[in-house]
Amino acid sequence: MHQPFNLLAAFDRVTDYWSPRVIGQVNDQLLKIAKLKGEFVWHAHENEDELFHIVRGSLLMQFEDGEVLLEEGDVLTVPKGTMHNPVAEEECWVLLIEPAATKHTGDVVTERTRSLEDQLG
């Protein structure tokens, strides 16, 4: 009935880059995991903060006013309305926490955009 999951093991199910998968929920927030490699796309989430937890590797988070290199074990919340662009020079594993309402690439739509239905697949 009370079924935990192992965070590292959950990444075995992730095969595509930049395609988050929903693995859990706490209140109105979804837990998602994703493997990242390369550059994503500049975007903002108008109404929702988005938390990044680096599970493996490192991630450069670019902002309009600078950039932050996130190393393994680092946690950063990108505040709502903040333009950001994640760049992973090498493969990086991240845990994301954000509301169910959050759109993958904000109001930007590219070939990388994944719907929530995609993320539940």
- Residues near a second copy (CB under 8 A) are 1-9, 23-29, 31, 48-51, 53, 61, 63, 65-66, 68, 70-71, 73-78, 97-99
Residue owning tokens 């093991």: 9
Residue among 30 and 119 whose Cβ is closer to a second copy? 30
Smallest gap from residue 55 Cβ to a second copy (A):
9
Smallest gap from residue 8 Cβ to a second copy (A):
5
Smallest gap from residue 48 Cβ to a second copy (A):
6
Smallest gap from residue 111 Cβ to a second copy (A):
27
Residue among 73 and 111 whose Cβ is closer to a second copy? 73
| b/e burial code for range 30-56 (CB count within 10 A of at least 16 → b) | bbbbbbbeeebbebbbeebbbebbbbe
Phi-psi region of 41 (alpha: psi -120 to 50; beta: other; left: phi over 0): beta
Phi-psi region of 105 (alpha: psi -120 to 50; beta: other; left: phi over 0): alpha
Residue among 18 and 96 whose Cβ is closer to a second copy? 96
